[in-house]
Amino acid sequence: MSDIASSSFVRQDLLTERPAPVKTTGFVGLMRTRLFNSPTNILLTILGALLLWFTIVPSVKFLMVDAVWSGKDRAACLTENAGFAVGACWPYIQAKLPQLIYGFYPEAERWRVNLTFILAVVLLVPLLVPRLPAKGLNASLFFVAFPVVAFFLLHGGGIKGFGLSWTAGLLELFDDSIIGAGQALLGLSKTSAVGPLLWVVGNFVVLVGAAIHWLILPLTLLRDQLQGVGLSVWADFAVTAVIVSLIAFWLGGGSRTGWRALASSIVAFVAIAAVIKLMGLDTGGLPVVTTNLWGGLLVTLVVSVTGIVTSLPIGIALALGRRSTIPLIRIFSIAFIEFWRGVPLITVLFFATYMLPLFLPGNFTVDGLVRALIGIALFTGAYQAENVRGGLAAIQRGQGEAAAALGLSWWKTTSLIVLPQALRHVIPNLVNSFISLFKDTSLVSIVALFDLLGSLRASFSDPKWSTPSTAFTGFAFAGIIYFIFCFGMSRYSLFVEHRLNAHRRN
């Protein structure tokens, strides 16, 4: 048997690949196959090139070539002084930059805004990178701790009490209102046709109010005791910490499995104490900067971040309510969602600005920014509810049934099995809603809040900088900022989508 390898006619190794014909690859190939392969295509290519030529060239010329880069006032940006047809007037942006970013936030306090921005970035970036660990801790820091800290950083001021006094105050308010409603019913029963019925209901409501009063009596008494001693914040804090930790311990399973919950509760309270001490919240905190001084990018970011943080829980609650089998809750959720989705955001903002104050007790004024935030939270919450519902519908029934077979309650099934999977499904949709929320924040400028767009519009009326190109320069600058944020978010949503669908790709 002869050895094949020894035969001189058999190749030992493969020939090297020849390069693809130059006509089919690279730029030449692109030109031949996608640009100039037929008369129609040649025509279309010329059309496209003309379109680009007439948009890109003037833009670049305006933004770069013909731009004025330095100057003190409008004189620098006038054609007669510059000696050429002036494009963008960048010194105007330089002069207005603080106003566009901080609004009228006092100059000495702007470090607080910067610190908040830095904190947000430091917390957000690790949350967005999927490979980094401790997503739960990171998310709770960003979504719960950060908003509170940011509030005290941006707004300033301190706290008078802590959890105990707040709870007691809230319960007292609730109880007073119930008793008030009961007495109003009793008053009506004297004149109404269904008097006896109203009398019975009214007495029942008053009775309930009295019962609640006795129930919360220990709490209010304790509160009054604590208000008496010095360092009332810290005393209140200690009591709240003990009570909450004990409840966490008990809910976590008592001495059998509750130690972990106890430890995390104690760690959380130590962290809260550190923050309170560091920011001096017990002694009055930072100087107060009222929200009518806020403006520019600061307001845009505050409104969008608050909207994102508050709309998600509202959306989840509404989505669960809409899928509930309990009739009243389902009907309420559907009506609520459809109502907010059916009206334009601007009417919601009008509602929040003009109608909401009428619904609140007279001695209770709500800040203009907070009113807009409430409107936006309700509006976005309804949209998020539909997104979340899509995710819930995508979870197979078997998941819930398996959980029920294991003996989990509805709450545990929902929070441990269904929601985590559903939310993971809809992250791209949620991010897309956040993009539209970010764009929609510009509407607050209509109800007299100065966000980025509102500040920009206000800066146009400054006679010091009024030139023919001022408006175009301002819009170019604000447009670039908006575009960077929205485009960044949309790319991130695409990235997450690809990652989620990795198993479907082939």
Partner 1 sequence: MSTEARKPPPQIALKIRRILGGKAGWNGVAVQFAFAAILGWIGYEIVSNARTNLENQHIAAGFGFLRNNAGFDVNQTLIPYTGSDTFLRVFVVGLLNTLVVSVVGIFFATLIGFIVALCRLSPNWLLSRVGEIYVEIIRNLPLLFQILFWYLAVLAALPNPRQSISLLGIAFLSNRGLVIPSLIGGNGLEPFLAVLALGIVAALALRFYARRALFQQGQVIRIWPYVLGLLVGLPLATMLVAGLPFTFELPQLKGFNFAGGSRIIPEFVALTLALSTYTAAFIAEIVRAGILSVHKGQMEAGSSLGLSRGNTLRLIVVPQAMRVIVPPLTNQYLNLTKNSSLAVAIGYPDLVSVFAGTSLSQTGQAIEIIAMTMGIYLLISLLTSAIMSVYGWRVSRSLGA
Cβ proximity to partner 1, 281 vs 476, nearer residue: 476
The whole-angstrom separation of Cα 110 and Cα 101 is: 10
| Least Å from the CB of residue 501 to partner 1 | 16
10 Å Cβ neighbour count for 3?
6
| Least Å from the CB of residue 97 to partner 1 | 18
Token digits for 93? 């942006």
Cβ proximity to partner 1, 141 vs 316, nearer residue: 316
Question: Contacts with partner 1: how many residues (CB under 8 A)?
Answer: 66
Within positions 442 to 471, which residues make up the interface with partner 1, using CB under 8 A? 442-443, 445-446, 453, 457, 460, 468, 471
Centroid of chain to Cα 17: 54
Q: Which of 53, 111, 250, 487 binds partner 1 (CB under 8 A)?
A: 487
The whole-angstrom separation of Cα 70 and Cα 17 is: 58
The verdict on 492 binding partner 1 (CB under 8 A) reads no
Cβ proximity to partner 1, 162 vs 434, nearer residue: 434
| Least Å from the CB of residue 38 to partner 1 | 9
| Least Å from the CB of residue 379 to partner 1 | 11
The verdict on 160 binding partner 1 (CB under 8 A) reads no
CA-to-CA dists, residue 234 to 160, 180, 273, 398, angstroms: 10, 34, 9, 50
Residue among 359, 385, 381 at smallest CA distance from 371: 359
Residue among 311, 356, 316, 318 at smallest CA distance from 337: 318
- Tokens 């409107």 locate to 375
Cβ proximity to partner 1, 174 vs 259, nearer residue: 174
Cβ proximity to partner 1, 55 vs 290, nearer residue: 55
| R_g (Cα) of the chain, nearest Å | 31
The verdict on 362 binding partner 1 (CB under 8 A) reads yes
The verdict on 412 binding partner 1 (CB under 8 A) reads no
- The DSSP call for residue 14 is P
Q: Are 202 and 219 in contact (CB under 8 A)?
A: no
Q: Which of 143, 151, 350, 492 binds partner 1 (CB under 8 A)?
A: 350
Q: Are 261 and 252 in contact (CB under 8 A)?
A: yes
The verdict on 192 binding partner 1 (CB under 8 A) reads no
DSSP symbols for 247-309: HHHHHTTHHHHTHHHHHHHHHHHHHHHHHHHHHTGGGT-BPP--GGGB-HHHHHHHHHHHHHH
The verdict on 482 binding partner 1 (CB under 8 A) reads yes
Helices (H) and strands (E) in the chain, counts: 24, 0
| Least Å from the CB of residue 235 to partner 1 | 32
Q: Are 336 and 318 in contact (CB under 8 A)?
A: yes
Q: Which of 166, 199, 332, 495 binds partner 1 (CB under 8 A)?
A: 332
The verdict on 490 binding partner 1 (CB under 8 A) reads yes
Cβ proximity to partner 1, 220 vs 353, nearer residue: 353
Within positions 51 to 70, which residues make up the interface with partner 1, using CB under 8 A? 51-52
The verdict on 402 binding partner 1 (CB under 8 A) reads no
Q: Which of 324, 399, 421, 466 binds partner 1 (CB under 8 A)?
A: 324
Q: Which of 357, 423, 495, 496 binds partner 1 (CB under 8 A)?
A: 357
Torsion of CA 236, 239, 240, 243, to 10 degrees: -170
The verdict on 326 binding partner 1 (CB under 8 A) reads yes
Amino acid found at 114? N
Binding site residues, partner 1, CB under 8 A? 30, 34-35, 41, 44-45, 47-49, 51-52, 177-178, 180-181, 184, 324-330, 332, 338-339, 341-347, 350-351, 354-355, 357-362, 410, 435, 439-443, 445-446, 453, 457, 460, 468, 471-472, 475, 478-479, 482-483, 486-487, 490
